[in-house]
Structure 1
């Protein structure tokens, strides 16, 4: 009995590199200057987009943390002051004191 070694060999495809046919329509298309410039433009667009996205993320982080550190405490303090003013007006009206309004001109 003879033993087999190896697998099934398939016929070469048309236009493959094994035949040495480098002048096919598809290979000429991919080697054209328009395709090359298009690839370069796409590569540059991806690079710029990544840089822009990264810098936008950094700017958003800076703006968000600044807002949390500076603006939120200010809003909380203004709300407390407003509540305190309302409480004083309620107490004054309950005690019968005349309400203090804006001065008349």
Structure 2
């Protein structure tokens, strides 16, 4: 018959490995997000600001009223 202590020990070992692998996966996902996605978001924001600036400059030169912000 299986000892209750060995069952608890086995379950604890499995849970420990699960938490460790989940932590590793979280670390990989988090750092990948920071390295790949955040710079892309920043660059898209800069591009949007540049487009808005160019539109405002064009409108100032042509004398057209600025369109409402979308």
Q: TM-score, normalised by structure 1?
A: 0.55
- Pair member with larger Rg: 1
CA offset at residue 98 of structure 1? Answer: 5.9
Q: Which runs of 5+ in 1 are unaligned?
A: 1-32, 100-105
Of residues 36, 61, 66 in structure 2, which corresponds to 1:70?
36
Question: Within 1, Cα distance between the matches of 2:63 and 2:25?
Answer: 53
Indicate the structure with greater helix content.
2
Aligned residues, how many? 66
Of residues 32, 39, 44 in structure 1, which corresponds to 2:10?
44
Give CA-to-partner distance per residue, 1:75-96, whole Å, 9 cap, x none. 1110100000010111111112
Instruction: Give the structure 1 partner of residue 49 of structure 2.
Output: 83
Q: TM-score, normalised by structure 2?
A: 0.79
RMSD: 2.1
Quick one: higher RCO (CA 8 Å, sep 6+), 1 or 2?
2
